[in-house]
Structure 1
């Protein structure tokens, strides 16, 4: 069974540590040691998180001499944003209809 990219991306984003790593990388590239600093976990544990993010296509890893910088690769996030956007429009439409209905109810109550 094949897993679609959206599912892989959501699975990677499900962990708060990985989301924090992505937030840090949104400010610029960083090495594993720098990415590990805010977390109470070992470097191998952080490396496992980075592998999940890399498999999901959310980060890339380079090699510059002994330094292996990680960089944000935001393309999969665009697919997530598009998927979420469809549902945002759905909910906004529902809320707009609810707002109009409540206004009608309130208007009827003030006419008494």
Structure 2
């Protein structure tokens, strides 16, 4: 089984490129063939294939066989994993910022008391 950290690394690496994010957005609307995914981009089919392999390694997409077609499909579980990690980080930073805000308010109150 892939370690959690390795899975996150693969997901965020895959999400780092705008073409891959666009492909995922397109797949969010439904299955698509490689040709359909390649259509909006000005890049070679081998380059598109490399991007798709990155998405597959991150388990963000899967490909099924349907006769001669191999449609790509978005896999939502890895996105939920990344979203969960981001949510954890958001909670940590909100907590830190709340504590900083409380500290600054207490300093402000103490400063006002000393001035009186």
Q: Which structure 1 residue ranges, 5 or more long, are not aligned?
A: none
Aligned pairs (5 A) from 1:11-50: 11-50=13-52
Instruction: Give 1:97 shift.
Output: 4.3
Query: In the alignment, what sits opposite 1:80?
Result: 82
Q: Distance in 2 between matches of 1:93 and 1:50?
A: 38
Q: Secondary structure at the match of 1:71?
A: strand
Q: Distance in 2 between matches of 1:103 and 1:28?
A: 50
> 2:73 aligns to what SS in structure 1?
strand
Q: Which runs of 5+ in 2 are unaligned?
A: none
Distance in 1 (alpha carbons) for counterparts of 2:83 and 2:67: 35
Count matched residues. 110
Q: Deviations over 1:33-64 (max 9, x none)?
A: 11011111011111110011111111000111
Separation of aligned partners in 2, 1:20 and 1:66:
25
C-alpha distance in 2 between matches for 1:29 and 1:50: 13
State the TM-score, normalized to the length of structure 1. Answer: 0.80
Match among 51, 56, 62 for residue 60 of structure 1: 62
TM-score by length of 2: 0.78
1:92 alignment counterpart: 94
